[in-house]
A and B are shown apart, each in its own frame.
Chain A
């Protein structure tokens, strides 16, 4: 009998103990909810799979999409959903179209998402696989010839991309590959307002960190050239080549003026890495340091390879790019094919030693705006013999418009000038100005079709007779949009072989490229974003 009251007490104590140690609430990280007050940022960072999405209107209504997509003009969200009033009663259920001007906040809930910095970047890349891009007939025919570019810059209003004066950070295809890029604008101007137009003409998201004008004061009869190591050189004496031989053919007529009349060869049908040589000869009038000037751009070979690589990634492209972001080794592997193809190797002939001296290898990504670049080298001839320079490059990979010889008298330090004003749709955009006026964590997001007018205040030159020779300095990266047609070619094994420089795979690529090569330029230019509208 004595045990019964004790039993009750024990049970009570145990019950109370377990009752209290049981937690009523599970505390979680509140960052599972993400909100975007800026439509562009949402478009850039939106989730891979269009699923639930909540859009708060400025007037207090809210729509919950259970499926959605961006309109072709990127200016509205369209999908199936329910629209609720202020009291959260359903107003409509079905097709909903929401214009950007109605949106106050866009909200996503990712309960399982990790929210460290790396994952935020990965989320930023997820748009790669998510958007059902509107592709024109040309792209469907030959998907890998679709127009792609980084931001294009123009001095004048034109819709002809052939007249682009610069294309910025072409090789920065992921956040971790963000890097600055300097391009010659090939223009001389006086002080005052200088306008530059920045466009997104491709199916890409451009993420621009900073844009500057590099202004070098120069005399009327002199020239400032951008060269190796992002140095700037002053010259007053530039001469054309007297001969330019490749395979026994003199191509000098192609290389004696920056006129768009370019020399280019076709790729080898079995070996994309096959090289060619161009032997340049110049009269020797050099008094200071000689420098070989080249005006060049890439053919569409690298574009073809990049698009091929992305199509092999298929619907796993987000995962691959996440690996690119987080692994140095993967980034290095990605560069393998481009290392194999290489840049333009420059050699100068040492007449005393009777041998070619390797000077440097130059590489600039991009098939749109040509690069104007100088490579200084040491003059070893003292007997007045012609100066001989050899270029070695991959067949079918480069288009040369000009080759000249500069007499460099000094290196100079130009001024770097941020924009004073940015206009979008003819209206000042102070937020955009802040975003691109500093190398920091704030980025300007530019979507297909976007056009920005950048104004720069150029100061009075020290000598009133001088002018400014201008260059563009830009930093950022861009994200290619995946075309639906590419997803059908998913082939991870082939991607691996491509990155490991497997000979058989590269031979097949060479054959495939050959079938497109002759028509690729025309298809590429005809498929820019504007032409797909």
Chain B
């Protein structure tokens, strides 16, 4: 019995922490969006099945220049991107405080046989309202809801290529 409870607790915790893929840690909180000066985060699917993600630095007629989480710049041709999601911000201003709430459903294991009812209820409430929001983002999907022209508004340099700029200067990682 005791072993089963431990097993269930671990399963629930795994589920709670894996319901959303952890998004970029660079995303601003909603309250900070106004003063956020970097580009938005883009995650795109490419025709060959691979994926690319990073901060949108600039978008021109043919390419998207991303700054990856490793601090490297990556150029992706627009015509090979089949689908993309642009993350604007987190959905909460208090992601740290919500972290502790992940453990609330685990308490349901103390409900004994009533856990059959109380755990799903706990999950039903906690997952969408807390766990998802802690790691979720306000976003938009390309090409369903936004065009390339509009996406460029969310680049670090919406005005295009500043004259005389070498993009390697923008790299922050080791390469």
A92-105 CB mask vs B (1 if < 8 Å, else 0) is 00000000000011
On chain A, the residues within 8 Å of B86 by CB distance are 30
Asked whether B116 lies within 8 Å of A22 as measured between CB atoms, the reply is: no
CB < 8 Å neighbour of B120 from A18, A29, A51: A18
In the complex the two chains form, is B116's CB within 8 Å of A10's CB?
yes
Q: Does A493 contact B (CB under 8 A)?
A: no
Tell yes or no: B1 within 8 A of A by CB.
Answer: yes
Known: A33-B154, A58-B159. A11 touches B34 (CB 8 A): no
Q: With an 8 A cutoff between CB atoms, is A86 at the interface? A: yes
User: How big is chain B's contact interface, by range?
Assistant: 35 or more
Instruction: Answer yes or no: A62 CB below 8 A from chain B CBs.
Output: yes
Is A87's beta carbon under 8 Å from chain B? Answer: yes
Does A242 touch B at the CB level, under 8 Å?
no
Bitwise, A11-28 to B at CB < 8 A (1) or not (0) is 110111011111111111
A35 vs B113: C-alpha distance when bound (angstroms) = 57
Report whether B123 and A19 are in contact in the complex, using a CB–CB cutoff of 8 Å.
Answer: yes
A107 contacts the other chain (CB 8 A): yes
A26 and B163 contacting across the interface, CB-CB below 8 Å: no
A20 to B141, CA, bound (A): 19
Contact A25 B85, beta carbon cutoff 8 Å: yes
Docked pose: A445 CA to B121 CA in angstroms: 58
Contact B158 A105 (CB under 8 A): yes
B4 at the interface (CB under 8 A from A): yes
User: Which of chain A's residues have a CB closer than 8 A to the CB of B19?
Assistant: 19-20, 22, 24
What residue of chain A has the Cβ atom nearest to residue B128's Cβ? A22
**Contact between A26 and B165 (Cβ–Cβ < 8 Å)?**
no
Stretch at the interface among B7-15, B46-54, B76-84: B7-15
Query: Which of A174-218 touch B at CB < 8 Å?
Result: none
Identify the closest chain B residue to A34 (Cβ): B153
**Is B37 part of the contact surface with A, judged by Cβ < 8 Å?**
yes
One of A12, A35, A52 near B34 (C-beta < 8 A): A52
Chain B, residues 152-167, CB within 8 Å of chain A (1/0): the string is 0110111100110100
Shortest CB–CB separation between residue A220 and chain B, in angstroms? 57
Establish whether residues B132 and A30, one from each chain, have CB atoms under 8 Å apart when the complex forms: no
Give bound CA distance, A14 to B138, whole Å.
Answer: 27
> Could you tell me which residues of chain B, from 32 to 67, have a CB within 8 Å of some CB in chain A?
33-35, 37-38
A28 touches B139 (CB 8 A): yes
Closest to B19 in A: A19
CB distance from B117 to the nearest CB of A (A): 10
Given the known A-B contacts A11-B116, A11-B119, A59-B163, are A25 and B12 also in contact in the complex, defined by CB atoms under 8 Å? no
The reply to whether A111 and B30 form a contact with Cβ atoms under 8 Å apart is yes
Query: Please, how many angstroms separate the alpha-carbon atoms of A19 and B128 in the complex?
Result: 8
B106 to chain A, nearest CB (A): 11
State whether B123 touches A18 (Cβ < 8 A): yes
Interface centre among A21, A31, A86 (most CB of B within 10 A): A86
What are the residues of chain A within 8 A of B165 when measuring CB–CB?
60, 86
In the complex, the answer to whether A86 meets B170 with C-beta atoms within 8 Å is: yes
In the complex, A60→B155 CA distance in Å? 11
- How many angstroms between the C-alpha atoms of A19 and B102 in the bound complex? 12
Q: Are B11 and A12 in contact (CB under 8 A)?
A: yes
Within 8 A of B (CB), among A208-262: none
Q: A88 and B38: CB pair below 8 A?
A: yes
Is the CB–CB distance between A52 and B123 below 8 Å?
no
Q: Is A24 in contact with B136, judged by CB distance below 8 angstroms? A: yes
**If A24-B20, A35-B158, A105-B159 touch, does A111 touch B91 (CB 8 Å cutoff)?**
no
- CB B31 to nearest CB in A, in angstroms, measures 10
Q: Is B96 an interface residue (CB 8 A)?
A: no
Q: List 28 A-B contacts (CB under 8 A).
A: A4-B4, A8-B8, A10-B116, A11-B8, A11-B119, A14-B120, A15-B120, A18-B127, A20-B19, A22-B127, A24-B21, A25-B138, A25-B139, A26-B136, A26-B138, A27-B138, A27-B140, A29-B145, A30-B86, A30-B145, A35-B158, A54-B37, A58-B159, A66-B35, A87-B169, A87-B172, A109-B34, A111-B30
B contact set with A: CB distance below 8 Å: 1, 4, 7-8, 11-12, 15-16, 18-21, 23, 30, 33-35, 37-38, 85-88, 91, 113, 115-116, 119-120, 123-124, 127-128, 131-132, 135-141, 145-146, 150, 153-154, 156-159, 162-163, 165, 169-170, 172
Given contacts A23-B128, A54-B37, A64-B37, 9 further A-B contacts (CB under 8 A): A10-B116, A11-B12, A26-B136, A28-B139, A29-B145, A30-B86, A87-B169, A88-B156, A107-B153
